[in-house]
Amino acid sequence: MKVRDILKTKGPEVFTIGEDKTLTDAISILVNNKIGVLLVLNKEAKIMGILSERDIVKESHKNPEGFSGSKVKDVMTKKVIVVEADDEIDYVETVMTENRIRHLPVVHNKVLVGLISIGDIVKVQLSSTRYDNKYLMDYISGSVK
C-alpha cells in the first residue's frame, strides 16, 4: 500500500500557521481542530517548519511564564522530513520510527498534497491484519477452497 492510498480515504486537508504567529494562536488551532501538528508557512506559502504539541510542551517547560507569547518560528522544528505520495507505507513507518516523529507532510512533484500520521498508518495496518486473519480463519475452517 502507498501513501496516496491513505490520502484517498483521509483527504488532502492540512492545517497551517504563519511563522510569525504566537503559540497561543497555534494552540487555538490545534485544540479547535483536534489535531496534533501544524505546518508552518512563510508569507510566500513555503514550508518553513512543523509545529507539534511536543514542541509546545518543550517551550512551556523551558519558558513557563512567557511561552504563550513565543513566536512559532522560534519553537517549530525547522528540519521537516517529507514523504512522497508514491512511497510505500512500510517505508514511511520506518522513517517515522527512526526519526521519532508522528506526522509527515506528503508531497507530489514538490507540491504539498497532504499529511499523514502514525495513527493513519496503524489504522491501515490494523485493517489489513483483520482481513488476513479473516481469510486464514475461513481457510482453516474449510470455507475457502
Q: Per-residue pLDDT tens for 53-102? A: 999 999 999 999 988 899 999 999 999 999 999 999 999 999 999 999 99
Domain residue limits at 133: 3-141
Helix (H) or strand (E) holding 9: helix 3-10
Note the pLDDT of residue 94.
Answer: 95
State the total domains in the chain: 1
3-state secondary structure of 108: strand
Share of the chain above pLDDT 90, in %: 72
Tell me the whole-structure pTM to 2 decimals: 0.80
Q: How many C-beta atoms lie closer than 10 Å to residue 84's C-beta?
A: 17
User: 106-114 long-range contacts, Cβ below 8 Å, gap at least 24?
Assistant: 106/3, 106/7, 106/82, 107/82, 107/83, 108/4, 108/84, 112/14, 112/39, 112/47, 113/7, 113/12, 113/85, 114/3, 114/7, 114/10, 114/11, 114/12, 114/13, 114/14, 114/85
Query: Do the bridges between strand 83-84 and strand 103-108 make them parallel or antiparallel, or are there none, so unpaired?
Result: parallel
Question: Is 117's pLDDT higher than 90?
Answer: yes
Question: Is 51's pLDDT higher than 80?
Answer: yes
Q: What is the CATH number of the domain that holds 47?
A: 3.10.580.10
Q: What span, in angstroms and rounded, lies between the C-alpha atoms of 29 and 18?
A: 12
Q: How much is the mean pLDDT over the chain?
A: 89
Question: Is 116's pLDDT higher than 70?
Answer: yes
Note the pLDDT of residue 138.
Answer: 61
Residue closest to 113 by CA, chosen among 89, 88, 93, 83: 83
Question: Is 141's pLDDT higher than 80?
Answer: no
Q: What span, in angstroms and rounded, lies between the C-alpha atoms of 49 and 115?
A: 13
Note the pLDDT of residue 127.
Answer: 60
